[in-house]
């Protein structure tokens, strides 16, 4: 399968996982995986949530923010990867002045 995220319509999800503002996502889901290119506007967050049945990988493409995985806080920017293992919690916060754009993969188990 080849996916062209550039020609997919963005889905706007307000207060994603209880977060602030909204997440804009281009997403593909099947029975085994969910993968997406998403963006957070300045001040927006992916709310803290726990991955009970899967893990998640988030690769930062553009922008700057703060990642929390469990109790660990890290400033992130392009080239950083946030990994949240199954059974752990995480959140992502856009602390920058431009959109925070990232690629995420959630392998369904």
Domain boundaries, the chain: 9-107
- Give the homologous superfamily in CATH for domain 9-107: Jelly Rolls (2.60.120.10)
Q: Confidence class of residue 1 from pLDDT cuts 50, 70 and 90?
A: confident
pTM: 0.94
pLDDT of residue 96: 98
Contact between residue 100 and residue 40 where contact means Cβ atoms under 8 Å apart: yes
Contact between residue 14 and residue 22 where contact means Cβ atoms under 8 Å apart: yes
What's the CA gap between 93 and 33, in Å, rounded?
24
Q: Strands of 89-94's sheet, edge to edge?
A: 45-50, 89-94, 65-69, 72-76
pLDDT of residue 55: 97
Q: Strands of 81-84's sheet, edge to edge?
A: 11-14, 22-29, 33-40, 100-107, 56-62, 81-84
Q: How many CB atoms within 10 Å of residue 87?
A: 12
What's the CA gap between 11 and 80, in Å, rounded?
24
Residue 83 has pLDDT above 90, yes or no: yes
12-71 pLDDT, tens digit per residue, is 999 999 999 999 999 999 989 999 999 999 999 999 999 999 999 999 999 999 999 999
Residue 109 has pLDDT above 70, yes or no: no
């Amino acid at each position: 399968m080849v996916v062209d995220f550039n020609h997919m319509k963005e889905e706007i999800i307000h207060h994603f996982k209880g977060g602030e503002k909204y997440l804009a996502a281009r997403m593909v889901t099947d029975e085994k995986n969910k993968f997406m290119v998403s963006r957070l506007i300045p001040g927006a967050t992916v709310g803290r949530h726990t991955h009970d049945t899967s893990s998640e990988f988030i690769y930062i493409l553009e922008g700057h923010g703060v990642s929390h995985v469990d109790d660990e806080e890290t400033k992130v920017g392009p080239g950083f990867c946030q990994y949240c293992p199954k059974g752990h919690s995480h959140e992502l916060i856009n602390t920058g002045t431009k959109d925070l754009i990232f690629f995420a993969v959630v392998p369904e188990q």
